[in-house]
Copies of this chain bind each other. A is one copy, B any other.
Amino acid sequence: MIIDDAPPPMRLFLKRLLTRSVLTEVEQRALAALPGREQEIEANREFVTQGEYVDHACVVIDGLIARFAQTESGDRQIVMLHIPGDPADLQSTVAPAAIAPLQALTRSRILRIPHRALIAVANEHPAIAHAFWRDGIVDLGIVAQSLLSIGRRRALTRLAHLLCEITVRYEQIGFSRDAAIEFPITQVQLGDTLGLTPVHVNRMVKALRDAGLCRLAERRLEVLNWSGLAQVAEFDPAYLQLQPLDRHG
């Protein structure tokens, strides 16, 4: 049901949209025909800055991208991690003053799609406009879960929950739950994601390792006991909306 003659990077984007929306072949072809330019980003580079006006949206092709926010005093909070396939700022199409900066956590590759082209295709195909809108809605659900985690769960559960989410999201793009996943995040960055200090992240990583639930080292995540991890995490994947939502609701 997914067309397979799109250029590979654009296919990733298409595939992601199809995990959240149902689109006809005509609509898929319209998306596949979108122009896009690939770009390599070095590790740690902030490639979209706060408030900057952009004229294109970025889809992650490879690597790990963080959307974040920071306080006056310089503390960082990662709002969302974007893995390959994720449009990191599709919403900029309609709100081009970046609401959140984007940083590559590791060397990454992105696909830049011009807003003009996105607007044109959305205006021509209402279902695509809905798919774009809906994409951000699912993201909001994910951020809401982060808020729940940080506000109401303790450190160990928080970490386990994030790891479960990451596992499932990588699974959606073709990685196995049982194999080790490339997840090149540092403990400092994990702290910025979970609202913890790096030292405490380290303690919790050790706790999960000692409990035999998972290993997180050498830029990889290896789940050793999925159900145990999910239990510690109180993980219920419903919020990830694994089934595409209906066409018009």
Which stretch (A89-97, A162-170, A175-183, A208-216) binds chain B?
Answer: A89-97
Selected from B115, B151, B234, the residue in CB contact (under 8 A) with A150 is B151
Give the interface size bracket for A toward B. 35 or more
**Closest Cβ neighbor of A235 among chain B residues:** B72
Given the known A-B contacts A69-B147, A136-B133, A147-B69, are A152 and B77 also in contact in the complex, defined by CB atoms under 8 Å?
yes
Selected from B71, B147, B249, the residue in CB contact (under 8 A) with A115 is B249
Selected from B96, B146, B152, the residue in CB contact (under 8 A) with A249 is B96
A158 to chain B, nearest CB (A): 10
**Closest Cβ neighbor of A238 among chain B residues:** B51
A99 to chain B, nearest CB (A): 4
A24 to chain B, nearest CB (A): 16
A233 to chain B, nearest CB (A): 10
The answer to whether B69 and A145 touch across the interface, beta carbons within 8 angstroms, is yes
Residues of chain B contacted by A137 (CB below 8 angstroms): 91, 94-95, 99, 136
**Closest Cβ neighbor of A72 among chain B residues:** B234
The answer to whether B129 and A246 touch across the interface, beta carbons within 8 angstroms, is no
A–B Cβ pairs within 8 angstroms, 20 of them: A55-B249, A69-B144, A69-B145, A72-B236, A77-B151, A93-B249, A94-B249, A95-B134, A96-B249, A97-B245, A100-B141, A123-B126, A129-B129, A132-B133, A136-B137, A140-B143, A143-B143, A143-B144, A147-B150, A151-B194
Residues of chain B contacted by A246 (CB below 8 angstroms): 96
Residues of chain B contacted by A234 (CB below 8 angstroms): 71-73
**Closest Cβ neighbor of A20 among chain B residues:** B95
A77 to chain B, nearest CB (A): 4
Q: Does A60 count as interface, using CB distance less than 8 angstroms?
A: no
